[in-house]
């Protein structure tokens, strides 16, 4: 039996959460966030991932996504972004952050110096339209609940802007709400 109670069920959309180790607030750095956006865009352009909704917060991200092999694609996404972000941190001599990523690395991860992401991504299958809307509203209101903005349209790292037909940083598969 796996280590998690969360499992990917087929190719339907899933609500996902990817969290940085120790909830480190690295996504306040625009260069780092750009790596996340570019990676998601790449997966979409390669038709390896369908993205229906997202929000990137300071220390985690939420997605509503689907793929033929969602576990593999999210694993590849996390691996690639971790390597790219660590390379950027090394290039910028961000030694304090690198030391934290080394300190919080799980002991069994002996083939790497650092750990950027917490293990897993907590996939929850979207069972119906009501659940889809509930998860999408949760994602879009995350920055409002955190007190970062008063209006979800003001958070540029979210698919809310897509659904409001405003300029956005990343394309998504829109559903009719």
Q: What are the structural domain ranges in the chain?
A: 14-129
Contacts of 175 (CB under 8 A, 6+ apart): 52, 132
Is CATH 3.30.70.1290 what the domain over 14-129 is classified as, yes or no? yes
Q: Which two tokens stand for residue 23?
A: 């909830």
Q: What is the pLDDT of residue 112?
A: 84
Query: What pLDDT, in 10s, does the model give residues 31-41?
Result: 999 999 999 99
Q: What is the pLDDT of residue 108?
A: 72
The mean per-residue pLDDT over the stretch 10-20 comes to: 91
Contacts of 44 (CB under 8 A, 6+ apart): 50, 51, 170, 171
CA torsion 53-79-96-58 (nearest 10°) is 0
Query: What pLDDT, in 10s, does the model give residues 36-75?
Result: 999 999 999 999 999 999 999 999 999 999 999 999 999 9
Query: What pLDDT, in 10s, does the model give residues 113-141?
Result: 999 999 988 899 999 999 999 999 999 99
Determine the Cα–Cα distance for residues 46 and 79; give it in Å rounded to an integer: 17
Determine the Cα–Cα distance for residues 122 and 173; give it in Å rounded to an integer: 21
How far the first Cα of the chain sits from its last, in Å, is 38
């Amino acid at each position: 039996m796996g280590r998690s109670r969360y499992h990917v069920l087929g190719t339907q959309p899933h609500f996902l959460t990817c969290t940085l180790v120790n909830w480190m607030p690295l996504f306040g750095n625009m260069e780092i966030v750009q790596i996340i956006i570019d990676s998601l865009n790449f997966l979409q352009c390669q038709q390896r991932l369908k993205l229906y909704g997202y929000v990137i917060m300071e220390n985690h991200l939420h997605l509503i996504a689907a793929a033929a092999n969602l576990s593999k694609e999210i694993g590849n996404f996390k691996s690639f972004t971790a390597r790219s972000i660590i390379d950027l941190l090394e290039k910028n001599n961000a030694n304090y952050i690198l030391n934290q990523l080394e300190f919080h690395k799980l002991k069994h991860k002996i083939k790497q110096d650092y750990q950027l992401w917490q293990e897993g991504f907590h996939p929850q299958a979207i069972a119906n339209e009501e659940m889809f809307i509930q998860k999408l509203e949760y994602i879009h209101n995350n920055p409002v609940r955190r007190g970062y903005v008063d209006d979800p349209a003001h958070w540029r790292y979210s698919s809310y802007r897509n659904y409001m037909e405003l300029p956005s940083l990343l394309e998504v598969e829109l559903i009719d709400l």
